């Protein structure tokens, strides 16, 4: 029987691995946020889908144009750490497939989350229909994809389900969910790493 990703990450949070994850993801996340907000001059609400210990929520909340920033995660240990670090923050322990915000967001971000779902299509549609404000943007970063061969063993290594897709399949998935201006790019590319795959789409209504 495979492990649940939320239980695995909760265990990691309990032993402090969330801090290492944040540090490892930081270069890619910084580039993704820069891309997402490039040229933006409007105030925005922000949601981090799979927020871990909330470090991105806290980072974005400090931006002058950010009206609100909240995080949601299905891993109990991660949310407990987020609330401990930031008692006044807005963090939700919930299933991403059933949770909906009270205020829709102009920017929804996710790092290393979508491929853990057996149907990332269902998750994307739910977010577009229930989380994303008109003219809003969904942008995600993923390291487990066809173009990163080193990641192909991760499901077996961790005994956790992961959905493997290539860049074109992710683009089509975003389009099928109702997003426009869909693009892919790479973040944090190096000689040893093909980069985090960044998928972005806008809700044009």
The count of structural domains within the chain is 1
- 73 occurs within a structural domain: yes
Q: What is the pTM of this model?
A: 0.96
Q: 84-104, pLDDT tens digit by residue?
A: 999 999 999 999 999 999 999
- 176 occurs within a structural domain: yes
Percent of the chain, pLDDT > 90?
88
In whole angstroms, what is the distance from residue 50 CA to residue 58 CA?
14
- Average per-residue pLDDT in the chain? 96
Q: 110-136, pLDDT tens digit by residue?
A: 999 999 999 999 999 999 999 999 999
**Tokens standing for residue 37:** 């907000």
- 195 occurs within a structural domain: yes
Residue 144's pLDDT band (cuts 50, 70, 90)? very high
- 177 occurs within a structural domain: yes
**CATH classification at residue 113:** 3.40.50.150
Residue span of the structural domain in which 142 resides: 5-35+66-202
- 45 occurs within a structural domain: no
- 58 occurs within a structural domain: no
- 143 occurs within a structural domain: yes
Q: In what side-by-side order are the strands of the sheet with 105-111?
A: 90-93, 66-73, 44-49, 105-111, 132-142, 196-202, 180-187
* pLDDT, position 24: 87
Nearest alpha carbon to residue 57 among 49, 124, 43:
49
Residue 3's pLDDT band (cuts 50, 70, 90)? confident
- 55 occurs within a structural domain: no
């Amino acid at each position: 029987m495979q492990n649940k990703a939320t239980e695995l990450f909760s265990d990691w949070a309990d032993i402090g691995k969330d801090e290492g994850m944040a540090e490892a993801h930081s270069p890619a996340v910084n580039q993704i946020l820069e891309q997402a907000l490039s040229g933006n001059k409007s105030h925005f609400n922000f949601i981090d889908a799979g927020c871990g210990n909330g470090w991105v929520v806290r980072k974005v909340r400090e931006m002058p144009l950010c009206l609100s920033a909240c995080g949601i995660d299905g891993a109990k240990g991660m949310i407990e750490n987020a609330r401990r670090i930031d008692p006044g923050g807005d963090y939700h322990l919930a299933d991403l497939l059933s949770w909906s915000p009270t205020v829709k967001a102009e920017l929804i971000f996710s790092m290393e989350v979508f491929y853990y779902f057996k149907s990332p299509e269902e998750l994307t549609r739910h977010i577009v229909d229930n989380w994303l404000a008109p003219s809003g943007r969904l942008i995600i970063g993923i390291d487990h994809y066809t173009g990163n061969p080193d990641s192909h063993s991760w499901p077996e290594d961790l005994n956790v389900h992961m959905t493997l897709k290539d860049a074109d399949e992710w683009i089509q998935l975003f389009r099928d969910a109702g997003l426009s201006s869909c693009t892919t790019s790479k973040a944090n590319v190096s000689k040893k790493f093909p980069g985090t795959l960044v998928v972005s789409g806008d809700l044009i209504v």
